[in-house]
Amino acid sequence: MPAVAMFYGIIVYLHSERGSKHHRPHLHARCGDGKVAVDFDGEVLAGSFPVKKLALLRAWIVLHREELEADWLLASSGQAVFRIEPLR
């Protein structure tokens, strides 16, 4: 699962999961011991994450939603996804 962005200790992954339990566009993120799946509206679907890091992740999602949606379409059709600018 390739990383699409890294910022402030957060690594963001995006891939399509055929038959996924989430059934909607989402991303995965890791930070230290935290792992989380979040949809593009910022709703946590699974896992847990430090509160401040989750706030940063949600802000990044708002800023890059169109790019995330485009990458989701690529991943859903089995194509490679593009890197997305990190939060600065």
Give the model confidence (pLDDT) of 49-83 as tens digits. Answer: 999 999 999 999 999 999 999 999 998 888 999 99
Q: Return all residues near 46 (Cβ < 8 A) that are at least 6 apart.
A: 21, 22, 36, 37
Give the model confidence (pLDDT) of 33-56 as tens digits. Answer: 899 999 999 999 999 999 999 999
pLDDT at 19: 56
| Domain-wise residue ranges, the chain | 3-76
pLDDT at 53: 97
Give the model confidence (pLDDT) of 8-31 as tens digits. Answer: 999 999 976 665 555 689 999 999
Calpha distance 70→82 (Å, rounded): 9
pTM of the predicted model as reported, rounded to 2 decimal places: 0.90
Residue 7: HSE in the Cβ half-sphere, 13 Å Cα cutoff: 18
Radius of gyration of the chain (CA): 12
